[in-house]
Structure formats: structure tokens, C-alpha cells
Amino acid sequence: MYEIIPISAVRTRVFELFDEVVERPGRKVVIAHRDRAERAVLVSEAYLAELEARVATLETVVARVSERASAEPFSLIGSARLHSSPDAVLDATRADQAGRAARKFSQD
């Protein structure tokens, strides 16, 4: 969470607020001005650098994903890989199904 402080109070507590944000990583102090809708945020330089590094990492990841997505559209055809011959896979599937059918009909 963060604290919203009017700018007039910040003027009187600037050294105290500075110590708070520097000593407590991630601490945010929101500074409000009665004549403006936008607010300012006081954070430590280290925290700002950490946030900027995270943003840069996310931008890199998004760019890589976008490059892959735009480089070649995905096609289901040809995307699967068999580790043995198609005939061996069919033979194993047919044998498995025959065994299941035999068990099913022998129970009745």
C-alpha cells in the first residue's frame, strides 16, 4: 500500500519521507496537489532502477514472442514428430485396441 500526502505536508516532512523510501525497499509515497489531477510518486532510486529493469525484461520477452508469432504462422500440419515409423505406431495401437476389445468381450 502507499500513503497519499498533500504537497504542503511533503514540504515539512521531506527529510523524513526521503529516509522512509530509501530505508524501506519498495516504499512509495504519493504526492498530491489540490489543483492537479495527476500525482507524483516518491520512491528510492534503487527501486526505480529495479522497476525499469523489469519493464525492459518484459519488453524483450514480448518482442521475442511477437517476432516468433509474425515470422511464421503456426500450422498444425507437420507440427507433430514421431519417434518411430508410422507403421510401428499403427501396429502398437491396433494391438492395444485388440487387447482392450478382448478384455471387454471376455467380461460379458
Tell whether the model's pLDDT for residue 85 goes beyond 90.
no
- Which has the closest alpha carbon to 17: 36, 33, 3, 38? 3
- pTM of the predicted structure, to 2 decimals: 0.55
Which sign, positive or negative, has the C-alpha torsion 16, 19, 25, 31? positive
For the stretch 24-72, pLDDT in tens is 988 999 999 999 999 999 999 999 999 999 999 999 888 887 777 666 6
**Helix (H, G, I), strand (E, B), or coil: what is residue 43?**
coil
CB contact at 8 A, 31 and 18: no
Domains, the chain? 3-71 (3.40.1620.10)
Q: Which three cell numbers stand for residue 47?
A: 527501486
Beta-carbon neighbour count of residue 46 at 10 Å?
Answer: 12
Which sign, positive or negative, has the C-alpha torsion 79, 80, 81, 87? negative
